[in-house]
Amino acid sequence: MADVFHRTSIPPPELRELPQASGKRGVSGGVAAYLARCLGSLPFCILLFALTVLSTLIVGVHLEDNFSHNLPVFDLDISWRFFTGLLNHPSRLSAGIPYAFTLILILLAHEMGHYLTCRHYHIDATYPYFFPAPTLIGTFGAFIRIRSHVATREEWFDIGIAGPIAGFAVTIPALVIGVWHSRRVLTPLPPDTITLGQPAAARLLSHLLHPAISPGVLNLSPVGCAAWVGLFLTALNLLPMGQLDGGHIVYVVSGARHRFVSFGLFAALIPLGIFFWRGWLLFAVLMLFLGLRHPPPLIAPDRPLDGTRRALAFAALAVFLLCFTINPLAVC
């Protein structure tokens, strides 16, 4: 499975806002500037958003087909006939609305949490980028990119925590609805079935809403699947590494110790990928490419964090524990 995660990209201070060279720019420089303006424009973000809606609708139709036949919703058995059927009968896409709408809403809430916090602090940030993809969930997720300096530790903290909290606030009601409409899956499982890991939040709600059914054999509805993806993405974002949301929070709370936490977790992903889920290896490679360090704030980098934000840091830890599962996916 392709790694799907959110990352707020902050270039190092020495690489940001470089002065423009004097004189005329060459053709390549003009083309690069034009492409940069296009890629950062609102119409381009809307195009990506529309394509992501389409890709998640297609996945949602497949999930709904499986769920309506009481089959495990996620599997690898997607034939060309499925896609030709959608081309011939595009109205079938409406069956994917419950999954697509729920997942897009979760992603949008997460990204708008970051974006609106940046606007609150007058920090220049892009609109959210959504990425359609032919993956199990129909997307590579979404992210924003911050294009200006972040002045204080408090700003770093608020930007980092706003996304996961906003996304989690939307995910939990969706999970309640999704688990409520779920049912026991048929056994034995057919070949190429993908079983989902059980985060603590999903297990708790399964026991509460379906006490007679083991969470391991509960077949999540499409809305429940979208909420599960929301839990998974929230857990990835809250990993205390690099410039992930969890990395922002840990950097503000622990300062220079962030690098030890970040590199230590990177090292831990290797055995996790070998013994539990291969996706952790891919995630480790991706994080190595994106960077494990965190840029410092410009003002008062050693100023102590206030009590309210420290309490919110513990709340973020609780959210992470509710969302995380060590083995998210397994193929039967």
Q: What is the mean pLDDT of each run of 10 residues along the chain (332 residues)?
A: 36 37 54 72 92 96 90 77 84 95 97 96 93 92 90 92 97 97 78 85 94 85 96 96 93 88 95 94 92 80 83 96 93 72
Pairing of strands 129-132, 218-219: unpaired
pLDDT at 42: 87
pLDDT at 294: 87
Q: What is the DSSP letter of 214?
A: -
pLDDT at 284: 94
pLDDT at 6: 34
pLDDT at 22: 44
- Inter-residue contact 213 to 220 (CB < 8 Å): no
pLDDT at 19: 39
Least Cα distance to 1 among 196, 170, 174 occurs for 196
- Inter-residue contact 58 to 93 (CB < 8 Å): yes
pLDDT at 1: 37
The model carries a pTM of: 0.87
Distance CA 115, CA 128 (A): 8
pLDDT at 237: 95
pLDDT at 286: 92
**What DSSP line would sit under 113-137, residue for residue?**
HHHHHHHHTT--BPPPEEEE-SSSS
Residue partners of 67: CB distance under 8 A and separation at least 6 = 73, 219, 221, 222
**What distances in angstroms separate CA 285 from CA 140, 184, 280, 289, one per listed residue?**
16, 37, 9, 6
Distance CA 331, CA 204 (A): 24
